[in-house]
Amino acid sequence: MAATETAAPAPTLVYRHALVTRVTHWINVLAISLLILSGLQIFNAHPALYIGQASDFGAPVLSMTASRDTGGGLTGRTTILGATFDTTGVLGASSTAGRVEARGFPAWLTVPSYRDLATGRRWHFFFAWLFVINGAVYVAASLVNRHLTRDLVPGWRELRGVGRSILDHARLRFHHGRDYNVLQKLTYLGLILVVLPLIVMTGLTMSPGMDAALPWLVELFGGRQTARTIHFICATLVVLFILIHLAMVLVSGVGNNLRSIVTGRYRIDERETPHAS
């Protein structure tokens, strides 16, 4: 008699994201997108970064400039820590309405696309407050429903598996388990507890009104220009996170990931070994 084969358990749907997590996620998508685009409009008013209280025009940490070449055209140059690169067409000098002009970031990356610092600041401040209020709601709800402590704080056993998790991601091997993997947890915690609060605090430091009310902010960050540089670096980290996040969504299953952040339901495969067992 042939041995009876045990059927493998079929994939099942589990409730992974609470309603408040899903709603605040999509509000963040809108707010952060407009914050980045309007922030680049503001940056273009003076496309350079410095360390300290005042601008040291002779030694910027980063600068995007344009100069005339021998043929009369514009050449874009980006300088980072003293090293200069030709970035014509993208940074320093780019085409707008068929005409090359000097500007830090290209028109298609700013809101509004035309030069308007006042409008860029209005957009930036509006979505900054939306982002802060939305973040406060998320944190408060996550503390109440224990999403932060239960779902995002990794245990010691998980932390010991960081190396294996990195190798799995490098090999594009993704485990559709019930919980976040350890790299996701560490990344989300880093954003929520470090990067995003730094963005908010350095943004406040650059506000003259807040400087008058909270003068210790400028001292905390070592000067207004240092705060501006930290703000830019943290915003760059957020952009990198978004790009990697989107890439991971694409390669690990678009449908499953989108369903989980829209409906809350995530498909798991019980046959797979948990990522951080």
Predicted local confidence at residue 170, as pLDDT:
73
Single out the residue in 108, 134, 151 at which a domain terminates.
108
Is 101 within the bounds of a domain?
A: yes
Is 1 within the bounds of a domain?
A: no
pTM: 0.87
Backbone angles phi, psi at 222, to 5 degrees: 75, 25
> Do 68 and 102 have their domain in common?
yes
Measured distance CA(188)–CA(227) in Å, rounded:
23
Single out the residue in 73, 90, 108 at which a domain terminates.
108
The H-or-E segment that residue 144 falls in is helix 117-144
Q: Which pair of structure tokens corresponds to residue 230?
A: 């930290």
Q: Which pair of structure tokens corresponds to residue 146?
A: 């224990």
Predicted local confidence at residue 178, as pLDDT:
62
Domain residue limits at 104: 57-108
* Domains held by the chain: number: 2
Backbone angles phi, psi at 100, to 5 degrees: -75, 130
Measured distance CA(98)–CA(6) in Å, rounded:
66
> Do 20 and 72 have their domain in common?
no
- Residue 46, helix vs strand vs coil: coil
Q: Which amino acid type is present at position 138? A: Y
> Do 77 and 125 have their domain in common?
no
> Do 146 and 17 have their domain in common?
yes
Strands 62-68 and 48-49: antiparallel
> Do 197 and 246 have their domain in common?
yes
Q: What are the b/e assignments for 214-224, b being 16+ CB within 10 Å?
A: eeebbeebebb
Residues 6+ apart with CB under 8 A from 218: 53, 205, 211, 224, 227
Is 97 within the bounds of a domain?
A: yes
What's CA 269's distance to the chain center, in Å? 30
User: Quick count: other Cβ atoms within 10 Å of Cβ 73?
Assistant: 12
Q: What is the pLDDT of residues 6-49, one digit of tens each?
A: 555 667 888 888 899 999 999 999 999 999 999 999 999 999 99
**What residues in the chain have per-residue pLDDT under 70?**
1-10, 175-178, 269-277
> Do 30 and 160 have their domain in common?
yes
- The candidate with the shortest Cα–Cα distance to 84, out of 48, 38, 37, 131, is 48
